[in-house]
Amino acid sequence: MGSLDKGIRIVVALVIALLYYFNIISGTLAYVLMAIAIIFLITSLINFCPLYRIFKINTCNIKK
């Protein structure tokens, strides 16, 4: 996972958290978006996204 990808995931997760904090989103939508935000944060912190492996997507610039 590339650094741009990680940065975008973190920003999206923070925006979702702020929307929830300021009660802009609520109910089922809030729970679904918060779950997505948590997944984004976890995958960006561990530098691995299982869906990228399944779909053979690579956003990292380093060639192995």
Q: Is residue 64 part of a domain?
A: no
Tens-place pLDDT, residues 23-55: 999 999 999 999 999 999 999 999 888 888 788
Q: What is the pTM of this model?
A: 0.82
63 falls within a domain = no
Q: Identify whether 62 is part of a domain.
A: no
Residue 64 pLDDT > 60, yes or no? no
Residue 61 lies in a domain: no
pLDDT of 11 reads 97
> Would 27 be classed as within a structural domain?
yes
DSSP states along the chain? --HHHHHHHHHHHHHHHHHHHTTSS-HHHHHHHHHHHHHHHHHHHHT--HHHHHTT----S---
